[in-house]
Amino acid sequence: TGESKSKYNCLSEKGGVENNGFVQNEAFEDKETDTSSQEEMPKTCSILVDPVAVEETVLKPYAGMPKEVLLQFSSQARYRVTREILFWLIIAASVALVGATIAIIALSPKCLDWWQASPIYQIYPRSFKDSDMDGNGDLKGIQEKLDHITYLNIKTIWITSFFKSPLKDLGYGAEDFYDIDPIFGSMRDFENLIAAIHDKGLKVIMDLIPNHTSDKHWWFQLSRNRTGKYTDYYIWQDCVQAAGSVIPPNNWVSVFGNSSWQFDEVRQQCYFHQFGKEQPDLNFRSPDVRQEIHDIIKFWLGKGVDGFSFGTVKFLLEATHLRDEPPVNKSQNGVMYTITAYSQLHHDYTTTQVGLHDIIRSFRHTMNEFSREPGRYRFMGSHDDEKEDIEATMMYYGTPFIQEADFPFNFNLINMKNLSGNSIFEAVDLWMRNMPAGKWPNWAVGSPNAARLSTRIGYEFADVMNMLLLTLPGTPVTYYGEEIEHGIQRITCQYKSPMQWNGEVNAGFTEGNSSWLPVHFNYRSINVEVGKKKPLNPQKFY
């Protein structure tokens, strides 16, 4: 290079001495020392340097450059501008990516859980299928007919109460919450049914009525004898006996009519019952009672149940002051014995008391303990028909921060008094307009406590109401037989009449001589088997 040549020429001018080896030339060293001492001024040596080469050397980065050189290099305009452009491009790309992600999430349909993805099929087990020829439907009978449920493309089964009980009021007054009533089978039958349901990819929920027990329950027997902690398991009050009759503590009336207080000869006090006198109310102000119910929930979830429908929950607490409830007709105020019907009172002190929702949230908390495994979410529904107070119904959804039921069951379409386009719209709009944001609706047109759809509104409207049920947003709740429901009507207790499976004796419900309720007279022409052969198959429609 030019620089090397200059250095070479400079050395040549100094004496032209070359040392191509590594051994020092002593003569040269001595000579150089001598001359330097004798010369007054060394001869000037000019070095030719290319300015462009120097500039390139300074500006070109290299590995291990010191901080000062790096800063000088990076502050140049061409690199600073490039760096800023890349920075803002990355920021813009990040914002665009976040925006696209949000848009995709917002516009994509939500992933549905199992209790949202299909209708819930509600079965009254005594009327579904009899397997042992005693005329009563049972758990084995449900297991025999699971293929029918999968044919309907239904994924969730709701079995109404099957606890051991005297079978009063649909069996909702349990004699033992930990046992199966013999009429429905055994605990082994239940375990086999759960396994079969899960093997088919289905889920099962069951009823639990925590408000009361049967008066045959051993808790009640211990309570009436004032035994230990069971003394306060129920609601007891002193009452006055006069002239062979009992004067109750107040004017409270049971749902079934007449006083909600019943005198007990053993304890010599009155116990409170919101329903039948054979169904005494539990005292939910007792921590021991609340713990008992939590233990029952855990027991059945441990058996593999996928969820619960908690019924009559608005009755769990009563006011402790025991004041008379205000009458609807104010002229009856203070006249206790003229009030015998539930509709004659405003039930301000016996329903939806302060603390009720804390109890329901505690149920949810216990169920959540069993929902931790992926795919094992446990459903919770509340079953209370607040006909006159939609806001009270919506409270069972919980709050944005505290969950209660996944949904309270909706009976607006059942409670319609007059069928019309306007009444249907009002029933649907009432729920959707009041439902909290982000919650999930549900619909039903039949239940064990209501007349069959075709009896209520007429055969000609049954199919269109079922279409409405199955196309509204949310979860449809189908009561057994609604897929052939127009054939199960207008007989005694017809909303619980046996399922019509085929045209054989007793509609294929039982191979015994009789069924606990008579089947409809038209079972030979309207049943599950015949329906599948028809061109317009209502089951295929489902």
Q: Which of 87-91, 469-473, 480-484 has the lowest mean pLDDT?
A: 480-484
Rounded to whole angstroms, how far apart are CA atoms 506 and 304? 33
Q: What is the mean pLDDT of residues 476-496?
A: 71
Look up residue 299 and give its two tokens.
């027991």
Looking at residue 281, the DSSP 8-state letter turns out to be B
CB 408 within 8 A of CB 396: yes
Q: Which of 45-59, 230-244, 264-278, 444-458 has the lowest mean pLDDT?
A: 45-59
| Better pLDDT: 398 or 485 | 398
Binned at pLDDT 50, 70 and 90, residue 485 comes out as: low
Q: ∠ CA(398), CA(404), CA(406), 5° rounding?
A: 100
Reduced to 3 states (helix: H, G, I; strand: E, B; else coil), residue 255 is coil
Q: What is the pLDDT of residue 304?
A: 95
Q: What is the mean pLDDT of residues 472-500?
A: 77
Q: What is the mean pLDDT of residues 2-16?
A: 45
Q: What is the pLDDT of residue 16?
A: 45
Reduced to 3 states (helix: H, G, I; strand: E, B; else coil), residue 9 is helix
Q: Which of 86-95, 181-190, 520-529 has the lowest mean pLDDT?
A: 520-529
pLDDT more than 90, % of the chain = 62
Q: Which of 121-130, 169-178, 215-224, 398-407 has the lowest mean pLDDT?
A: 169-178
- Other Cβ atoms less than 10 A from the Cβ of 322: the count is 14
Q: Which of 14-23, 49-58, 532-541 has the lowest mean pLDDT?
A: 14-23
Q: What is the pLDDT of residue 48?
A: 53
Q: What is the pLDDT of residue 335?
A: 58
Does pLDDT of 386 surpass 80? no
pLDDT tens-digit readout, 157-191? 999 999 999 887 677 889 999 999 999 999 999 99
Does pLDDT of 94 surpass 60? yes
Could you tell me which residues are beta bridge partners of residue 281? 212
Rounded to whole angstroms, how far apart are CA atoms 141 and 272? 37
Q: What is the pLDDT of residue 6?
A: 47
Does pLDDT of 4 surpass 50? no
Q: Which of 416, 392, 390 is nearest to 404 (CA)?
A: 392
One-letter amino acid for residue 443 of the chain:
W
Looking at residue 499, the DSSP 8-state letter turns out to be P
One-letter amino acid for residue 8 of the chain:
Y
Q: What is the pLDDT of residue 497?
A: 87
CB 501 within 8 A of CB 129: yes
Q: What is the mean pLDDT of residues 217-246?
A: 93
pLDDT tens-digit readout, 278-292? 999 999 999 999 999
Counting every residue written for the chain, the total comes to 542
β-strands 475-479, 120-123: how paired? parallel
Q: What is the pTM of this model?
A: 0.80
Q: What is the pLDDT of residue 123?
A: 97
CB crowding 496-510: b at 16 or more within 10 Å, else e: bbbbbbeeeebbbbb
Does pLDDT of 382 surpass 80? yes
Binned at pLDDT 50, 70 and 90, residue 389 comes out as: confident
Q: Which of 50-64, 343-357, 400-414, 485-499 has the lowest mean pLDDT?
A: 50-64
Which residues lie closer than 8 Å to 439 by C-beta, 6 or more apart? Answer: 397, 407
Which residues lie closer than 8 Å to 105 by C-beta, 6 or more apart? Answer: none
Work out the mean pLDDT of the chain and round it to a whole number: 86
Q: What is the mean pLDDT of residues 97-116?
A: 89
pLDDT more than 70, % of the chain = 85
pLDDT tens-digit readout, 432-470? 999 999 999 999 999 988 888 878 888 778 888 989 999
What is the DSSP secondary-structure string of 254-298? -TTSSBSEEEETTTTEEEE-SS-TTSPBB-TTSHHHHHHHHHHHH
β-strands 156-159, 120-123: how paired? parallel
Q: What is the pLDDT of residue 32?
A: 44
Phi, psi of 99 (to 5 degrees): -60, -40
